[in-house]
Amino acid sequence: MLTKKEKSRIGKRSRNSGARFELKVRKNLEDKGWIVSKWMNNVELKYDLEVLFKKVIKGKLIPAKHKFRGKGIPMAIGTGFPDYICFRGEGKAKFGIVYNIIGVECKSLGYLDKEEKAKCEWLLKNKVFSRILIASRGKKRGTIRYREFE
C-alpha cells in the first residue's frame, strides 16, 4: 500500500522522466535537420452520445490550456497534442519552397490511449499534418524509435 507522499514522489519522478525524454527527442530531431517547435494547440472532439462506440462528429483546434497544481502554481505549460510540430524544406517549386510538416508525440512506451488516437485521426483527416510520428524509447539504452501513426 502506497502512501500519498510515496505516490506524489513517483508522480514527480515520472513527470520529470517524461520531460527529459521529450527534450532528448527534440534534440535528436534537430540533429536530423528538422526545425522543431512546441505545438501549442489541442484538438477538442465532440462525440455522438447516441452511438454506443462513440463516433466522432466534429472536432476543432483550440489553444492548449496550462495545467495547474494549485491556485496560480503552474505544473505544465504548453500541453498541446501532439508535443512538437516539425518542418523542413524538401525542395523548390514554382511558388517557393515546399515544406514537409509533421507532428511528433513523445511516449516512453510508445502507446497512445483511445482519445489520443482519435485526435491523431482527426489531425490527419483534416490535413493539419502530413503525418504523425510516435517517438518511444528503443531497446538499447539511450536510443529513440520513431513509428508512424496509421
Instruction: Give 61's pLDDT tier (boundaries 50, 70, 90).
Output: confident
Best CA proximity match to 76, nearest among 40, 117, 115, 111: 40
Does this model's pTM top 0.85? no
pLDDT of 57 higher than 90 = no
Q: Beta strand 35-38 with 41-47: parallel, antiparallel or unpaired?
A: unpaired
Angstrom CA distances, 37 to 68, 69, 83, 137, stand at 22, 25, 9, 21
Angstrom CA distances, 132 to 17, 76, 120, 123, stand at 22, 23, 7, 9
Q: Which three cell numbers stand for residue 105?
A: 508525440
Strand residue runs (E) in 22-142: 35-38, 41-47, 56-63, 67-70, 73-76, 84-93, 96-106, 131-137
Q: Within 10 A of 85 (CB to CB), how many other CB atoms are there?
A: 20
Cα–Cα distance for residue pair 57/54, rounded to 1 Å: 9
| Least reliable range by pLDDT among 23-37, 84-98, 127-141 | 84-98
| Of residues 94 and 4, more confidently modeled | 4
Q: Which amino acid is residue 60, in one-letter code?
A: K
Mean pLDDT, rounded, for 58-81: 75
Sign of CA dihedral 100, 106, 112, 114: negative
For 142, list phi and psi in degrees, rounded to 5.
90, -5
pLDDT of 51 higher than 60 = no
Q: What is the pLDDT of residue 7?
A: 93
| Of residues 38 and 46, more confidently modeled | 38
